[in-house]
Structure 1
């Protein structure tokens, strides 16, 4: 069972009242905050942690970012790459993932940054590949938003160019022989001369080949085009699914698409998002979850759904089913995931907004450590997933509790490692 921790450099993750909880540490502008959680997660034998990133203050709702900013909604306040470097310094085994969009950086810069980080981390980097759908993020780069399928066409070329740049140094190209005065073997460093429709780069990369060769590739697209991209490239897929049948259907679809490309299912770990709430008893855990739910603002939920689907929902009545909202813009994959969660319970727009603000409609696992292990094992054993992306409900307490109480129960059942094997993140995922 794979375990990956979701992080965001801001007040919240999926639970949009997290920053208001009395036990949450809001020191997200300090290095100690990130160093501590990296140590906690490594002590809990997590495969990896990764940072989502948001490159704008979202202003779809009422044409303003006032609601998201004033109520502490989802936002990325810091560039996550320097934080990953900080975390690499205080850990030895856990993987370190960073989201970088293929829409705003050239392939050469992406390849150079991740190769540098892979060296500095000893081979533990992962790239969460995003294409960026929301127009406010495009506007911050002075660009009009590109249609989804074209974004993925560009992303295919960016990743392909990056892989060629990473491969432009042979593993033994560096000689560093003081006696002979030979530093490197030029015959083992190669031009790339990549020329696609959208991306061109000459190469070679300026960074020697890294411990992993490439960073581990992550992806989270939900649309058919996003799934095709994942089937070609992803080694880890992060997905929001609402129930075991949805998980099974998604994983089967990904495996079928991978098979058409000659890839084996074990080459990609499909991880579903869950939000844990741990209690000493089930009643205490349920009481905790109810208290957490009261910390979210329903209007913030409406603003967040607006940001995810790329349209202003303030013009719709709260009693209207979200399924009846006509969508002709924004991220279709995100909208389908949200719809999937509302159809199950027949939620109105107002109900969905409240639930979205609590967990972004992904499953909550609530109870004692044994209860939570039961729930995770049921999803895992059903074939619905290869593991989980856990998102915090308080910080850092949620991850501390999970690592101290739930992980030992999963270890007792033989579901989670008791030690790290191998040297790199890719070694860890294959062990």
Structure 2
């Protein structure tokens, strides 16, 4: 079983009320020590890694502005994760480190350069959560009036990935000679031009960045649409999935693994990780009481704003019937699918579902939660989980000290890291 941590450089993860909990630390969001501490906690818990979800702007879809998000503490990125991740790399040796970056706004050369640099400095522990972006507000921040159609965004993303891989492959291993006596610093015969030319972009190369110990960053992805699944089948080594209910998880798992097989990829080359939040207690009743208290902290207006952001539709103005037409090229299909699955599985109305939120939460003792995780893993509904915090950093501290030992006792989670790079820990031995 694999575990990744879902992080934000802001107050709120998946649970929109948890920042209000008395034990949640919110006064250190802009402090380096916050990120150094959570990195150490996750590595002590033997997590494969972490990644930062990100948005290139402030959500202003709900009621036409960002007031609700700022006033009530929504999912906001107060810091660029690419500035935070080096802090975390510095205090760890094994933990994977992931950033979310868009192929719709960033040049391939810039992406390859900045991610390759961090991969070198961390000795091969970087992951790139590839997104094509889902809101016009992000496009406008990069001087584009509106997002291109989804199919075109994915076509561009394919070329960006092709170009980045060509750039990362410009360097062979062992370029540096470092012979002071002969005056030979490096071997230029081991570096080549990329000369990538696609329909939508081109880049000459070579990078000035040496090859990292894992060759290139691990590719993450979270697309749930048909085109997104095809993209994942080609590129992804880890998928952040968020289906609701075991049947939907299993369907997604089998679908993506089948698409991988048609491309000649082995199933173990990509780990499908379902989104999860947990609430742990010494007894089931204590855990349930804790969960109920957390839910009492949810601001209904912020919950609605969060669903509006995922769908890219102002739900304060548009009801269920108007969502599909109002989305246009925006919004995330995964959010729409999770709402529909929640309505079906729990008999909720559309309004109830969007106000409640679609996170998948397990509540109970560490043994109870481990039993349920084990059952989903054994049923091949997932290869592991992306765990989002409720109380920060307490959720991860409890997982590391109480839940992880339960998983280890079952023989389904590592006791020590076996690889030196993120790819080795996540997908097996290094590629040649």
Query: For 2:315, which of 309, 313, 316 is the aligned residue?
Result: 313
Q: Greater CA deviation, 328-337 or 175-184?
A: 328-337
How far 1:326 moved relative to its partner?
3.9
1:119 aligns with 120
Alignment check: 8 A CA contact 1:298 1:353 kept: no
Task: Tell me how far apart the structure 2 counterparts of residues 200 and 53 of structure 1 sit (CA, whole Å).
Answer: 26
- Normalising to structure 1: TM-score of the pair? 0.96
Query: For 2:301, which of 291, 299, 306 is the aligned residue?
Result: 299
Equivalent residues in 2 for 1:361-372, closer than 5 Å: 361-372=358-369
| RMSD of Structure 2 on Structure 1 (CA) | 1.2
Query: For 1:248, which of 237, 250, 257 is the aligned residue?
Result: 250
2:383 aligns with 386
Runs of 4+ in structure 1 off by over 6 angstroms are none
2:399 aligns with 402
Alignment check: 8 A CA contact 2:276 2:387 kept: yes
Alignment check: 8 A CA contact 1:95 1:425 kept: yes
Q: Does 1:152 align with 2:149?
A: no
2:47 aligns with 46
Task: Tell me how far apart the structure 2 counterparts of residues 417 and 373 of structure 1 sit (CA, whole Å).
Answer: 14
How far 1:422 moved relative to its partner?
1.9
Query: For 2:226, which of 203, 216, 224 is the aligned residue?
Result: 224
Task: Tell me how far apart the structure 1 counterparts of residues 343 and 78 of structure 2 sit (CA, whole Å).
Answer: 30
Query: For 2:189, which of 180, 187, 205 is the aligned residue?
Result: 187
Task: Tell me how far apart the structure 2 counterparts of residues 102 and 341 of structure 1 sit (CA, whole Å).
Answer: 31
Structure 2 gap segments, 5+ residues each: none
Alignment check: 8 A CA contact 1:45 1:418 kept: yes
**What SS class does the counterpart of residue 314 from structure 1 fall into?**
coil
Structure 1 gap segments, 5+ residues each: none
Task: Tell me how far apart the structure 1 counterparts of residues 238 and 318 of structure 2 sit (CA, whole Å).
Answer: 37
The number of equivalent residue pairs is 422
Q: Does 1:55 align with 2:56?
A: yes
How far 1:325 moved relative to its partner?
4.4
Alignment check: 8 A CA contact 1:299 1:353 kept: no
Q: CA-to-partner distance for each residue in 1:193-215, whole Å, 9 max, x for gaps?
A: 11111111000011011111111
Q: CA-to-partner distance for each residue in 1:272-321, whole Å, 9 max, x for gaps?
A: 0010101011000000000000111111111111111111111246xxxx
Task: Tell me how far apart the structure 2 counterparts of residues 142 and 338 of structure 1 sit (CA, whole Å).
Answer: 32
2:38 aligns with 37
Task: Tell me how far apart the structure 1 counterparts of residues 339 and 261 of structure 2 sit (CA, whole Å).
Answer: 28
Equivalent residues in 2 for 1:261-272, closer than 5 Å: 261-272=263-274
Q: CA-to-partner distance for each residue in 1:219-274, whole Å, 9 max, x for gaps?
A: 00000011110000000000101111111100100011111111111100000001
Alignment check: 8 A CA contact 1:97 1:127 kept: yes
Alignment check: 8 A CA contact 1:59 1:65 kept: yes
Q: Greater CA deviation, 345-354 or 307-316?
A: 345-354
Alignment check: 8 A CA contact 1:297 1:354 kept: no
Q: Greater CA deviation, 293-302 or 389-398?
A: 293-302
Equivalent residues in 2 for 1:88-107, closer than 5 Å: 88-107=89-108
Task: Tell me how far apart the structure 1 counterparts of residues 336 and 243 of structure 2 sit (CA, whole Å).
Answer: 12
- Normalising to structure 2: TM-score of the pair? 0.96
Alignment check: 8 A CA contact 2:362 2:369 kept: yes
1:14 aligns with 14
Q: Does 1:134 align with 2:135?
A: yes
**What SS class does the counterpart of residue 313 from structure 1 fall into?**
coil
Q: CA-to-partner distance for each residue in 1:361-389, whole Å, 9 max, x for gaps?
A: 13101100101101101111111000000
Alignment check: 8 A CA contact 2:194 2:206 kept: yes
